[in-house]
Amino acid sequence: MNRLLFIVTGPSGAGKNTVMTHIYNTFPEIKKAVTYTTRAPRPHEQDGVDYRFIGQEEFFAKVREGKILEYEQVYNDYYYGSPAEIFADGPIRIMEMDWKGHRTYRQAYKDIRIASIFIVPPSLDEIKKRILGRSAVDNLQSRLANAQEQLEHADDYTYIIVNDQKDRTLRQVETLVRAELINRKRNDNLKHAQKLVSNFSDNF
C-alpha cells in the first residue's frame, strides 16, 4: 500500500486547524488521524472527531500498551498524544502535532512518504492577537514560549507557509497537497511508462 502522511505544525494561533479543515474538506480521500487528549472537550468539539477525550489514567495506560506513539504535556497543562497505528483503515492521513511529534513519526515511519507543513504566523504581535482573540487564556507566556520553540524547528519541514492572508495560504496548501497526491502515483505511472517502452520493442 502506497501510504502518505500529512503533518501540520505551527505555533498556537498560526491557523493550523483552518488549514487542516480545508484539506480534509477539499480532499475526501485524506482522513484525519484522531489524536488523544486529557483535556475536556470544548463546546464545538466532538469525541472521536476532533480528539479522543480520555482521562489521564487511561491515557498513560495506552502509552504503556504502545497504542500512543508519542505524547506531550502542552503549556504545563493537559497531555496530548498521537496514535501508533494510523493507517488501519486507509492509506492517506493527516495529523496535527508539534515538532517533537513530527520528529518521532519521521523516525517511526521511515518507509512512508511524510509531507510536513509548517504554518508561520506573520508576526509575534499576530500570534498574541490570535491567541487572545480565541478565548481568555491564563497561560499566555507559556503559549508564547512554545511558539518560539516551534518556530526554531521550522527548517525540519517539507513546506513552510506564512499565513498572512487566509485565502492565499489555503490556495498554497491546496496546491502542494495536489502535488503530493500526484506524486503518490509516481510508481504506478512509471510502470505504465515502462510498459509502453516494452511495447515499442515488441512492435517496432
pLDDT band at residue 162 using 50, 70 and 90 as cut-offs: very high
Does 81 have pLDDT greater than 90?
A: yes
Tell me: pLDDT of 8 over 60.
Answer: yes
Is the overall model pTM greater than 0.75, yes or no?
yes
Question: Would you call 99 helix, strand, or coil by DSSP?
Answer: helix
Structure confidence by residue, pLDDT tens digits, 164-176:
999 999 999 999 9
Tell whether 48 and 125 lie within a shared domain: no
Which domain does 124 fall in, by range? 4-33+88-203
Average pLDDT over the chain reads 90
Same-domain status, 180 and 109? yes
- Going from the C-alpha of 115 to that of each of 11, 44, 52, 71, the distances in angstroms are 18, 29, 24, 20
pLDDT digits (tens, 9 = 90+) for 175-201: 999 999 999 988 889 888 988 888 886
159 and 67 in one domain? no
| The dihedral sign for the CA sequence 97, 122, 143, 139 | negative
Verify that 62 and 127 share a domain, yes or no. no
pLDDT-derived band at 128 (thresholds 50, 70, 90) equals confident
Start-to-end CA span in the chain (Å): 35
CA max distance for the chain = 75
Region of poorest pLDDT, from 33-42, 68-77, 88-97, 172-181 = 68-77
CATH number of the domain bearing residue 182: 3.40.50.300
